[in-house]
């Protein structure tokens, strides 16, 4: 096996600390002015995959970057402590050591581990000393229909248990009814309950009806102090798509242009192939720039994606595709 050194910054962390989005008063004039040209957005989305093509060492470097941006996730009803421990081990060693050695990348981890509240303690213990944060889904995930005070308390308990990131779900009805004040107040309360833990606002875009609703909901959540906006829970019938991503990314760009605060982006659900990850990375680079290609501003919500990336990296080195079972998550 011939050594191939890949030049990549995936392990050169920590990066500069980004000022946290403090939020701002709700600006209904700004919200109501936001529109979405669906046909133009869909046309642009269709061109994304053909705009950038990376091959060989460059592709390998982008795939290594993608690994550092994955929130390695398990959100199943049959989750067990042993499954979470195995997933944490995979987060700390996402690619076989001999492959990383050949690629010239001595250290590489995923961006985070994402679990239900009951598994936070297990994950925190398993990841001790690794620097990998634990993210917890909260606020009645995935539907977000439990009583409001219980949703807020769930956040507080997850933070107390050691979660450094909280993935909340918004009340879709506020968006569908155009009740932006209610959405703002809800998001603001969730942000306050998180304290120092960063909050990712899951919009469940597949249930919001229109791209205009997605754009306005993105903006309101950022006004209320969201650190990230995220497409989906992964449980909806439609999850992350390129048109939705384009709308949310441009909302992030507009918010940064007006306020000077960078908000992160997390596509989740249905991103399982290495080639899909490359498309999303190209989209981020084109629309937001290189600064957003760091774990503090971009994440993939995924589980099977990592296995396919590892498989592609092995092919890059050996010229042969290995069986999927050789790249299990745990």
User: Residue 10: pLDDT above 90?
Assistant: no
61 is a domain residue: yes
Residue 191: closest CA among 127, 133, 120, 263: 263
8 is a domain residue: no
23 is a domain residue: no
295 is a domain residue: yes
Q: Is 167 a catalytic residue?
A: yes
Residue of 65, 90, 200, 230 marked catalytic: 230
pLDDT value of residue 159: 98
Domain count, the chain: 1
For the chain, give the mean pLDDT. Answer: 92
User: Residue 5: pLDDT above 50?
Assistant: no
Residue 302: closest CA among 142, 87, 71: 71
Q: Is 29 a catalytic residue?
A: no
140 is a domain residue: yes
Residues 328, 310: Cα–Cα separation, whole Å: 10
Tens digit of each residue's pLDDT (9 = 90 or more) over 160-171? 999 999 999 999
Q: Is 55 a catalytic residue?
A: no
**Among 32-36, 103-107, 196-200, which stretch is predicted with the lowest mean pLDDT?**
103-107
Tens digit of each residue's pLDDT (9 = 90 or more) over 219-273? 999 999 999 999 999 999 999 999 999 999 999 999 999 999 999 999 999 899 9
Note down the domain range covering 288.
Answer: 28-318
11 is a domain residue: no
Q: How confident is the model at residue 327 (pLDDT cuts 50, 70, 90)?
A: low
pLDDT value of residue 238: 92
For the record, the structure tokens of 166 come out as 């909280």
User: Residue 13: pLDDT above 80?
Assistant: no
For the entire predicted model, the pTM comes to: 0.93
Tens digit of each residue's pLDDT (9 = 90 or more) over 74-118? 999 999 999 999 999 999 999 999 999 999 998 999 999 999 999
Tens digit of each residue's pLDDT (9 = 90 or more) over 106-139? 899 999 999 999 999 999 999 999 999 999 999 9
45 is a domain residue: yes
Q: Residue 199 sits in a domain of what CATH number?
A: 3.20.20.70
Residue 222 sits at the vertex; the CA angle it makes with 247 and 186, to the nearest 5 degrees, is 115
Query: Considering the chain, what percentage of its residues have pLDDT values greater than 70?
Result: 92
pLDDT value of residue 193: 98
Whether residue 142 is preceded by a cis peptide bond, meaning omega within 30 degrees of 0, is: yes
Residue of 65, 90, 266, 296 marked catalytic: 266
Residue of 71, 167, 227, 308 marked catalytic: 167
For the record, the structure tokens of 276 come out as 């899909």
């Amino acid at each position: 096996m011939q050594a191939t050194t890949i030049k990549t910054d995936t392990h050169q962390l920590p990066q500069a600390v980004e000022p946290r989005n403090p939020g701002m008063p709700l600006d209904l004039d700004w919200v109501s002015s936001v529109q979405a040209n669906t046909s133009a957005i869909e046309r642009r989305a269709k061109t994304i995959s053909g705009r950038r093509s990376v091959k060989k060492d460059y592709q390998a470097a982008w795939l290594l970057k993608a690994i550092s941006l994955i929130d390695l996730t398990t959100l199943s009803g049959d989750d067990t402590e042993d499954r979470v421990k195995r997933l944490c081990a995979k987060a700390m060693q996402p690619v076989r050591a001999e492959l990383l050695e050949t690629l010239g990348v001595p250290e590489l981890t995923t961006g985070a581990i994402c679990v239900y509240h009951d598994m936070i303690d297990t994950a925190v213990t398993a990841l001790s000393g690794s620097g990998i944060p634990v993210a917890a889904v909260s606020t009645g995930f995935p539907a977000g229909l439990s009583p409001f005070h219980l949703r807020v308390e769930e956040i507080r308990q997850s933070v107390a248990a050691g979660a450094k990131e909280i993935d909340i779900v918004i009340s879709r009805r506020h968006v569908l009814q155009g009740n932006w004040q209610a959405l703002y107040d809800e998001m603001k309360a969730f942000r306050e309950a998180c304290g120092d833990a960063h909050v990712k606002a899951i919009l469940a875009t597949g249930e919001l009806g229109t791209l205009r609703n997605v754009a306005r909901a993105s903006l309101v959540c950022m006004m209320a102090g969201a650190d990230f906006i995220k497409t989906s829970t992964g449980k909806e019938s439609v999850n992350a798509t390129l048109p939705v991503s384009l709308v949310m990314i441009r909302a992030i760009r507009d918010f940064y242009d007006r306020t000077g605060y960078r908000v992160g982006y997390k596509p989740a659900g249905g991103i399982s192939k290495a080639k899909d990850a490359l498309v999303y990375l190209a989209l981020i680079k084109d629309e937001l720039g290189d600064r957003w290609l760091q774990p503090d501003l971009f994440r993939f919500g995924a589980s099977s994606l990592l296995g396919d990336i590892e498989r592609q990296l092995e092919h890059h080195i050996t010229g042969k595709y290995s069986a999927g079972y050789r790249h299990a998550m745990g």
